[in-house]
Amino acid sequence: MLPLAFRKRVLFTWNLREIHHFVQLRSGRQGHTSYRRIAQQVFREVERVHPLLAKYIRVDLEDYSLARQ
């Protein structure tokens, strides 16, 4: 059993198609704050390492509040 506040390190291996899908899906307004930040960080890292490929990834870098409208 793991408590909810337990932090566990995880290693993901993705190809460009999977990164594109994850970032596009999870960085949007409807995404929860916790994984929206992760998707944005993933995009920024791809942009830093591969700027030419990153320009084809659709990402929402806005910071929305949790209130839904």
69 — pLDDT class (breaks 50, 70, 90): low
Q: What percent of the chain has pLDDT over 70?
A: 90
Rounded to whole angstroms, what are the CA distances from 18 to 8, 12, 47, 53, 57?
22, 11, 15, 13, 11
Q: What percent of the chain has pLDDT over 90?
A: 57
The CA distance from 64 to 18, in Å, is 24
36-60: per-residue pLDDT in tens?
999 999 999 999 999 999 999 999 9
Q: Which residue has the tokens 């909810």?
A: 4
Q: What is the pTM of this model?
A: 0.76
18-38: per-residue pLDDT in tens?
999 999 999 988 888 888 999
Contact between residue 27 and residue 36 where contact means Cβ atoms under 8 Å apart? yes
State the CB neighbour count (10 A cutoff) for residue 36.
Answer: 20
